[in-house]
Structure 1
Amino acid sequence: MSSHIDERSTQDRPDDAVYAQRTRLRATRWPDAPEDAGWSLGTDLDQLRDLVVHWAESFDWPAQEAALARLPRFRVPLGGLGIHFVHAKAVAPAGPVLPLVLSHGWPDSFWRYSKVIPLLTDPGAHGADPADAFDVVVPDMPGFGYSDRPVGRPLDSIAVAGLWAELMTVLGYERFGAAGGDVGSHVSRCLGLDHPDRVVAVHRTDGGLPVFTGDPADLTPEERTWMEAVAAWSGTEGAYAAIHRTKPQTAAFGLNDSPAGLAAWIVEKLRAWSDCGGDVERSFTKDEILTNITLYWLTGTIGSSMRMYSANAAIPPAQLARRVEVPSGFSIFAGDIVRPPRAWLERTTNMVRMTEPPRGGHFAAFEEPEIYAEELRAFFRPYRAAAA
């Protein structure tokens, strides 16, 4: 491993930060809510109170932090920023090892892939073929998790893809696979677009928001129906994204100051986007939810993570409409949001495989790690020799 990669602990946080967090949680100034509003107007008041009480009185952050610390984690300077990443190498491989960079989305970090990493690096220990082992690299995007926050303009997905290509060079990987969801789907797409000589294949769990610059008459009925559904979803569920794109700094003042407010902002998305049937704890335990939220709280990265939306909103439509010619695969999970039709994926990528797993949502790698791992194994199997 390159000598300028820092292997020192990246997870240590002073005890007084946790104490201060608990003090703030206990002093939360709760809003009122209409009777029986539930989740219809946003985060449910009673359920958030319950989560906040657990956070303040029972949640064991040091134990959760120690579990994350068992992952092989590092920092490296890239583009003037310290980038935190997991680098987990294949265990007892029985053939060519494929390097794989996994890109997370919002609102999360390397946390998204914490369950699936062992399944990918050591498939033989989990009932799968040892020949399907990966070297797994999971970076925190700039402004997320333990990576540095850009001090100037936020980086867009194109720039982040360039950093990931540089990171894979630093780690000694000339050719590799790329996979991701949410914002990470966009970053993986950009890796395939801008580094096709290095990326052997791209796997994604969504097709991104539709950008079409051609004649609408050329769209299939299924594509038009999907675009109408996306527009309807944006109208009812997309207020958060509009704020992130246009006025992220305004929201950041409150979210960075109030842990209860931060929890409300994030848990509502975990519930709405996961395959939980309206009960968020079907997809995530309280401790899993709070581990994700605590990472945001202790690193102070909610504002910087939201600003990436504004950077991506400035990408020219012509860039967003480019077709990915690198072999592309999609696992469109049953519980995800605005699921794209096959025709759109074929129009926008060199799609060689599409599956529709019967359960799992927007956070599939965390919700259904076994299914997600098998999706990656099956898709990338034909491309292993290309990276050898």
Structure 2
Amino acid sequence: MSDVSPRLEPFTLQTGPAALEDLRARLRATRWPDIPEDAGWSLGADTAYLRELVAYWADGFDWPAQEAALAGLPHFRARLGGLGIHFVHARAVAPTGPVLPLVLSHGWPDSFWRYSKVIPLLTDPGAHGADPSDAFDVVVPDMPGYGYSDCPTGPPLDSIAVAGLWAELMGVLGYARFGAAGGDIGSQVSRYLALDHPDRVVAVHRTDAGWPALAGDPADLTPEERAWFEDTAAWGASEGAYGAMHRTRPQTAAVGLTDSPAGLAAWIVEKLRAWSDCDGDIERSFTKDEILTNVTLYWLTGTIGSSMRMYHANSVIPPAQLARRLEVPSGFSLFRSDIVRPPRAWLERTTNVVRVTEPARGGHFAPFEEPELYAEELREFFRPYRAEATG
């Protein structure tokens, strides 16, 4: 529990003109690397695309308009575990049945931004062509060191510790029982929230199962699981350099990424493209305004370094914690273009699986890429558990 009694306070998103003037000056002064002929995205971020994006960021992107749109959500801060935690708390609109509280946990490289499109679909389904009885009270916190939440001044918090903060937050908000959902690091947080508070979490929905960690004998794996382990290792060798840096030397990368907005954009945009369902064209999944809203949140809050440090914290979670089996009813939506998609045999080995679907569209950022589809996945999965949370 917190060392200070939590107090909820409304939070206003507001950026002063000096911060934007500094950002634009840095963008215009970017020192660009050379571009190998025909390199494109094959060596990492495509410098030609980034030059186009940065030019728009400096002279076309309207951050005040994007900030005002995000400010339309109900924002709050609370003191939890000695840290100021920012969260969105949007209550159900005109529900016709039991309202299920739902805490959504984001991943990297994002923040509450990941769920900004889907929140209205979950709180007011009747206004979006769905059944009003499927309404949720939605809570979307920024993890410590992300977005508008405080950065830990000491060791970074791992997913287990963050899950404990979310349990406290939901209690402060008056929710004795609730659902949990997430993806990327948020998948881990949701899992530990259910593992450590099974009496409060009625069900868990995830879009991935995280990086595989085997506690038993590899000989017991099915052929599908062995192939998945091999594919995951191959993906890590070719695509996982960012993760190795985050786990081992996050402060080295943080210096340049905190100082250069173009560098920050390169670090984030390359992942938005690689992990989304865009067939190589990032703007099939995200507009320039959407990309830059996410990147600008990182820039203005100065949280790229602190967000990366959570990888280091998670890398030393004890094996016994990784091996715990989750018995709370769990569902998975494995979107078509997500990374390291696990076979059902692995999910059932580690989790009490009650539902697995494979949506035909969407990638790692499914709540933002395909908000209507993601919202429907949550409505269908959590429908049987509403009475448990509200009865």
Question: TM class, shorter-chain normalised?
Answer: over 0.9
1:345 alignment partner in structure 2: 347
1:88 to 87, 90, 106: 90
CA distance in 2: counterparts of 1:251 and 1:41, whole angstroms: 18
- Deviation digits for residues 135-189 of structure 1, max 9, x if unmatched? 0000000000000000000000000000000000000000000000000000000
Matched, 1:122 2:124: yes
1:7 to 2, 10, 31: 10
- For 1:359, what is the secondary structure of its paired residue? coil
Report deviation, 1:14: 1.1
CA distance in 1: counterparts of 2:307 and 2:269, whole angstroms: 16
1:302 alignment partner in structure 2: 304
Structure 2 residue identity aligned to 1:103: S
TM-score (norm: length of structure 1): 0.99
2:18 alignment partner in structure 1: 16
Matched, 1:39 2:41: yes
Report deviation, 1:3: 8.4
CA distance in 1: counterparts of 2:326 and 2:281, whole angstroms: 37
Shift in alpha-carbon separation, 1:189–1:25, aligned structure 2, 3 A? same
CA distance in 2: counterparts of 1:3 and 1:184, whole angstroms: 23
1:261 alignment partner in structure 2: 263
CA contact (8 A) 2:6 2:80 kept: no
1:192 alignment partner in structure 2: 194
Alignment of 1:40-119 (within 5 A): 40-119=42-121
Alignment of 1:1-388 (within 5 A): 4-9=7-12, 11-388=13-390
CA distance in 1: counterparts of 2:130 and 2:113, whole angstroms: 23
- Deviation digits for residues 225-254 of structure 1, max 9, x if unmatched? 000000000000000000000000000000
- For 1:82, what is the secondary structure of its paired residue? strand
- For 1:70, what is the secondary structure of its paired residue? coil
Report deviation, 1:30: 0.2
Structure 1 residue identity aligned to 2:246: H
CA distance in 2: counterparts of 1:301 and 1:72, whole angstroms: 22
CA distance in 2: counterparts of 1:8 and 1:66, whole angstroms: 13
How many residue pairs are counted as aligned between the two chains?
Answer: 386
- Deviation digits for residues 330-367 of structure 1, max 9, x if unmatched? 00000111110000011110000000000000000000
Report deviation, 1:59: 0.1
Structure 2 residue identity aligned to 1:307: R
Structure 1 residue identity aligned to 2:60: S
Structure 2 residue identity aligned to 1:327: P
- Deviation digits for residues 73-110 of structure 1, max 9, x if unmatched? 00000000000000000000011000000000000000
CA distance in 1: counterparts of 2:72 and 2:285, whole angstroms: 23
Structure 2 residue identity aligned to 1:273: W
Q: Structure 2, unaligned stretches of length 5 or more?
A: none
CA distance in 2: counterparts of 1:317 and 1:242, whole angstroms: 19
Q: Structure 1, unaligned stretches of length 5 or more?
A: none
- Deviation digits for residues 185-226 of structure 1, max 9, x if unmatched? 000000111000000000000011100010111110000000
Report deviation, 1:13: 1.6
- Deviation digits for residues 253-308 of structure 1, max 9, x if unmatched? 00000000000000000000000000000000000000000000000000000000
CA distance in 2: counterparts of 1:99 and 1:184, whole angstroms: 17
CA distance in 2: counterparts of 1:168 and 1:298, whole angstroms: 28
Report deviation, 1:321: 1.3
TM-score (norm: length of structure 2): 0.98
CA contact (8 A) 2:6 2:172 kept: no
CA RMSD of aligned residues (A): 0.8
Structure 2 residue identity aligned to 1:380: F
Where in structure 1 do 4 or more consecutive aligned residues deviate above 2 Å? none
CA contact (8 A) 2:6 2:79 kept: no
Report deviation, 1:8: 3.8
CA distance in 1: counterparts of 2:11 and 2:173, whole angstroms: 17
Structure 2 residue identity aligned to 1:81: L
CA distance in 1: counterparts of 2:331 and 2:345, whole angstroms: 13
